[in-house]
Amino acid sequence: MSALGQFIEAAGVATTGISLVREHTEQMRPPRALWVPFELGRPFGAPGDAAFQHRVLNAALALLDAPSGPVLADFPDDAPPSTAPGAESEPWSCPVSFPPPPVDPNDLGAAVAAEIGPLAPWHAQARRQRGRSPVSVGVGVGEFDIDAAAAFAASFLNDPPAADRATARRLKSALEDLKAFYTEAAAARPGAASTDIGDWLWRETALSRLMFRLADALRSHDDPALRYLAEQSLVPRAQAAWRRANGA
């Protein structure tokens, strides 16, 4: 989006945007950007708080008053708790019970498959409630159902497919679909808080163990695109730091 903003600006149209990763925006230097200290996937803060979301939007649009850039401004406030109905009614807990991790530490593909089954009804409920889903299976590079996405990702641990220009994109698409599937399913439970869902996803699921293992394994891969994916995109910095601090 930063590069697109520069392209559009060069054509004479002023642009502004929202940044969730300040370091990336500093390097890309878009014409105008508002950095927000919110979790990834929540550029306007907590869901259900229209007034706060309008504040963020207005702050981003206000950067259009700057005649030229690059301009990188910081939003001053953290996101408030969600005001969605039932968000504070009870502590959040995982809506399903998963089987324990497999005895074989290399069988993470089977463990993720075991998680997907119980999550599927919750994901179906989320799609009915929202009428849409970011899960891209069956579209573009996401040319697989969610079970096949899990199997494709797990295959990189033992017998990775031949690397080419599209391999890293397909792996990233598969993992993004899996994360969206998990978080949408978890959010279907009344009272689910987005921060708790993120911690559950990255600290308690077999999918997180798969992504951590992939990040470790692909850092030394011959394909530079897969190495970049492992180093920059697979695991959020905060969760990687938590893992190191807790010896997980």
Q: Residue 97 falls within a domain, yes or no?
A: no
Same-domain status, 57 and 170: no
User: Rounded to 5 degrees, what are φ and ψ at 32?
Assistant: -150, 135
Q: Residue 92 falls within a domain, yes or no?
A: no
Question: Per the structure block, which two tokens stand in for 122?
Answer: 């919750």
Per the CB < 8 A criterion, the answer to whether 115 and 102 are in contact is no
State residue 74's pLDDT score: 92
User: Rounded to 5 degrees, what are φ and ψ at 208?
Assistant: -65, -40
Q: Residue 100 falls within a domain, yes or no?
A: no
* Cα–Cα nearest to 177, from 126, 208, 138, 137: 137
Work out the pLDDT band at 91, boundaries 50, 70, 90. very low
Between the CA of residue 50 and those of 47, 53, 78, 80, 191, what are the distances in Å? 8, 5, 15, 11, 18
Query: What is the C-alpha to C-alpha distance for residues 128 and 112, in angstroms, rounded to an integer?
Result: 24
Which helix H or strand E contains 106, and what residues bound it?
none
Per the CB < 8 A criterion, the answer to whether 82 and 49 are in contact is yes
Residue 40 has pLDDT above 80, yes or no: no
Last residue in a domain, options 48, 74, 100: 74
Same-domain status, 129 and 240: yes
Q: Residue 80 falls within a domain, yes or no?
A: no
Same-domain status, 175 and 220: yes
User: Rounded to 5 degrees, what are φ and ψ at 33?
Assistant: -150, 145
User: Rounded to 5 degrees, what are φ and ψ at 202?
Assistant: -85, -15
Q: Residue 96 falls within a domain, yes or no?
A: no
Residue range 54-66, pLDDT digits in tens: 999 999 999 999 8
Among 42-56, 125-139, 203-217, the range with the most confident prediction by mean pLDDT is: 203-217
Same-domain status, 129 and 223: yes
More confident of the two residues 7 and 70: 70
Q: Residue 79 falls within a domain, yes or no?
A: no
Q: Return mean pLDDT, the chain.
A: 78
Give the structural domain span for 61: 2-74
Residue 142 has pLDDT above 50, yes or no: no
Q: Residue 83 falls within a domain, yes or no?
A: no
Which helix H or strand E contains 166, and what residues bound it?
none
State residue 211's pLDDT score: 92
Same-domain status, 138 and 203: yes
| Residue 213, amino acid | R
Q: Residue 95 falls within a domain, yes or no?
A: no
Residue range 94-119, pLDDT digits in tens: 444 545 444 455 688 888 988 888 88
Query: What is the C-alpha to C-alpha distance for residues 64 and 81, in angstroms, rounded to an integer?
Result: 29
State residue 62's pLDDT score: 94
Q: What is the mean pLDDT of residues 239-247?
A: 79
